[in-house]
Structure 1
Amino acid sequence: MEINLLTHAACVQLVTPALTRRGRGRIVAVSSVLTQLGRVDLAAYIAAKSGLEGLVRALARELGPHGVTINCVRAGSIEVPAEQAVVPDHAAMVVRQLDRQCIKRRGLPDDIAAAVGFLAGPDAGFITGQCLTVDGSWCMA
């Protein structure tokens, strides 16, 4: 809860006064497709990320009138070096993951960064309170 929800809320609380004074700004949080799918043994993580998505929707209503948008990127299975150390039978996990996705490659940090960049940029000025799912269509919600 501390890392996946409360830290986000604290950061938003710190930046919103300056953004609302300027009359414009963008905030982008990162969530997880597991808020839509669920998973055994990750209830606390999923609850925190679900809370983050609720926070984004609530703050969209509060900050929108001040010219500030807030959205989130709902990340799928993203390939990172640490997963090889913590995922037993990593090769089998990769095969299972690719079977679930329409796009048959692992997601990369750059895929998430591109979505964040879009939501933070000028072309997303009329988008707020949304979660953009970036997961190779693992979760089509």
Structure 2
Amino acid sequence: MDINLTTRYRTCRAFTPAMIERGRGRINNVSSVNARLGRAGLTAYSTAKAGVLGLTPSLARELGPHGITVNTVLPGAIQVPAENDLPAHHRARPEDQIARQCVPRHGQPEDVAAAITFLANPNASFITAQSLTVDGGWMPH
């Protein structure tokens, strides 16, 4: 809870005064598809990530009048070294994961970075209080 929710809340609160003073800013949180789907054995993680989904529209309403947008990116299975640290029973077999996606490849950190970069762009100034899922189309399956 501290790492996945409380720290995000405190970080947002620490940076927003300067954004308010400038009259603009972007807050792009990172959650997880597990915030919407849940995951057995990862209840605290899924709950904390779901909290980020509640934080996002609340902050968007508070900060929108100051020119600040607040959004969340929800990555699915992204191929990162940290996956190797998960207990075996929490790891999906890569071929099983890919078979359930619309885009048949491993998700990469660059895929998530591209979504965050888009939301940080001045052209995204009217997008706020949204959650953007980056999972290769896995959630519909």
Matched residues, percent identical?
53
Kept after mapping to 1: 8 A contact 2:83/2:91: no
TM-score by length of 1: 0.93
Indicate the SS of the match to 2:29: strand
How far apart in 1 are the matches of 2:85 and 2:3?
Answer: 21
1:134: which partner in 2? 134
Cα shift readout 1:88-115 (whole Å, capped 9, x = no counterpart): 3899610111111110001000000000
User: Where does the alignment leave 5 or more consecutive residues of structure 2 unmatched?
Assistant: none
Amino acid at match of 1:28: N
Question: Structure 1 residue 15: deviation in Å?
Answer: 0.5
How far apart in 2 are the matches of 1:88 and 1:43?
Answer: 17
Where does 1:40-59 land on structure 2 (aligned, <5 Å)? 40-59=40-59
Amino acid at match of 1:80: V
Distance 1:132 1:11, change over 3 A: same
Where does 1:95-134 land on structure 2 (aligned, <5 Å)? 95-134=95-134
Indicate the SS of the match to 2:31: strand
User: Where does the alignment leave 5 or more consecutive residues of structure 1 unmatched?
Assistant: none
Aligned residues: 141
Question: Structure 1 residue 82: deviation in Å?
Answer: 2.6
Report the aligned-residue RMSD.
1.9
How far apart in 2 are the matches of 1:17 and 1:49?
Answer: 24
TM-score by length of 2: 0.93
1:94: which partner in 2? 94
